[in-house]
Amino acid sequence: MAVFQHILWGYELTYPDNWVHRTLGDVEGFAPVEAALDDNYQGEQNGHLLVRAEWNGLLQDLQPLWNQHIGLTAGMLGAKNVGAAPWAMGGAQGMEAEIALPKSKNQRLWAGLLGRGALVLHFMVLHTLSDRAWFEPLFTNLISSLRFPVSLADGLARDASGLPLPPDYVPTPPAELVSDIADPHNWRAYRGASSIGALEAFYLREGLQNGWEIDSFAPFPSKIDISFARFEMIHNNTALTLGLLPYGEERVDSHSPANLVIRMKDK
């Protein structure tokens, strides 16, 4: 069996060795053959699982998130008779539903949503009806393998302060990200393209698990007027402010990519 771990969002799934996993934008896809990840595929072994993570920083109730998730899914596929049942997996709680599709599609659709703190995971399984007998147990085992490891930072690069860095973040001059820096020797910065929601999940988990005390945390988005996420962190004799700066379109949200800035300060 192969193990997929999402280092930022902090979950893992185990899938058969002969299956494929592909990252499709902000979605993780699993299927017996790569072609089956295409919704238009009509060949053999036609089924897939899609998983998408979301940051629920305002800790809103899961019901509106479920309504949005299931509404979009059902609308795209022409589904009807959409209900929901309570669902729990891997220590997370949420809802699931098997959704009736038009008979002409000859497909079965199942969707689920799980919440664990501010982390929300969206699941969707789609496969042909004729393959249900052997697909359903495999997908059930895959989803049932969901785990939330304590830490996934082993092997990651670290800032000079010892703070773990997300994958694919590279140093950049701080002045390129923050203007009017009065003490540039106390600043470091890193460019990357992970969403600010994923980075918040990463540092809330890995900061604590790597010996950092989070003195305060201002999330993004939040109910206060702040355009980025901010951590005040302490480890032994090191104290710093970590800022996650979203960028991209004029209107940014938890899905927007973000850069990192670190300002060292006296403890």
pLDDT of amino acid 80: 58
What tens digit of pLDDT does each residue of 207-228 get?
999 999 999 999 998 877 789 9
List 152's β-bridge partners, or say none: none
Question: How many angstroms separate the CA atoms of 118 and 162, rounded?
Answer: 25
pLDDT of amino acid 79: 56
Going by C-alpha positions, the residue among 144, 58, 138 that lies closest to residue 96 is 144
Non-local CB neighbours of 168 within 8 Å, separated by 6+ positions? 192, 193, 194
CA distance to 1, 42, 137, 208, 232, per residue, from 163 (Å): 32, 47, 41, 10, 12
Question: How many angstroms separate the CA atoms of 156 and 164, rounded?
Answer: 6
**Tokens, residue 167:** 């994958």
The structural domains of the chain, ordered by start, are 2-144 (3.40.1000.10), 170-265 (no CATH)
Question: DSSP for 176-222?
Answer: GTSSS-S-GGGEEEEE---BHHHHHHHHHHHHHHTT-EEEEEE-SS-
- % residues pLDDT > 90 (the chain): 68
The SS3 call for residue 134 is helix
A 10 A CB-CB count for 160 gives 10
Question: How many angstroms separate the CA atoms of 70 and 103, rounded?
Answer: 19
Stretches where the chain sits below pLDDT 70 are 71-83, 102, 104-105, 267
Structure letter (DSSP) for residue 67: H
The residue whose two tokens read 């979203």 is 246
